Amino acid sequence: MLFATNRSEIREIKLRLSQFAKEIRALGALEFALMVPVLLLLWTGTVELAALHLASRKVTIAAQSAADLISQEVSVTDATLEDIEQAINAIMAPYPTDTLGINLVSVTADNDGNVGIGWRYNGGFAGGGALGAIPPRAIPLVERNDSVIVAIVTYRHRGTFDLFFTTTEITEEAFVRPRRVAQIPQL
């Protein structure tokens, strides 16, 4: 019966509602059922943010390490740069490196202060940065007969659960001056 038509039915409905309100036996189960989705959402969000933060830290360390390793050399070869790419891949573990882009550049200036690219090494999915262009933030760092090593590492992080972040691109640039020579040539 959907609508109460007489007073006895109304009293019975009121009595059942008051009995229902006083019942506490299943209250814990009800609270648990209401809180589980909220807690699961908080947990997955925490896991996603922690993984994104760790991936960002690894990209930063990879870019700084690559630039530092190159700056210690007197000259570089393709084999040396490939070894540095392997070191970057090792730093990124346990994250997959199929979405990792690496762009290693020697930005040089001649006697007249003309800035150019001494050499460039690209690795990974798309080379991590604008190919062919001089990294704009490196130009003011170069003086006459000088150079700056630029390491640009780009990583496309895929979310663990694909709930909050499907794919986030993380890019880090590192700038280092050569330690032992003014300009590091590529042999």
pLDDT of residue 69: 95
DSSP one-letter code for 134: P
Encoding tokens for residue 106?
């020697």
pLDDT of the residue at 8: 80
Residue 38 lies in a domain: yes
Q: What pLDDT, on a 0 to 100 scale, did the predictor assign at position 37?
A: 92
**Separation of alpha carbons 156 and 125, rounded Å:** 10
pLDDT for the residue numbered 178: 94
Q: Write out the residue range of the structural domain in which residue 57 sits.
A: 8-176
Residue 2 lies in a domain: no
Confidence of residue 129 (pLDDT cuts 50, 70, 90): low
Q: How many domains does the chain have?
A: 1
Asked whether residue 146 is domain-assigned, the answer is yes
Q: How far apart are CA 150 and CA 177, in angstroms?
A: 9
Tens digits of residue pLDDT in 68-90? 999 999 999 999 999 999 999 99
Q: What is the three-class DSSP state of 155? A: strand
Q: Which of 11-20, 154-163, 165-174 has the largest mean confidence?
A: 165-174
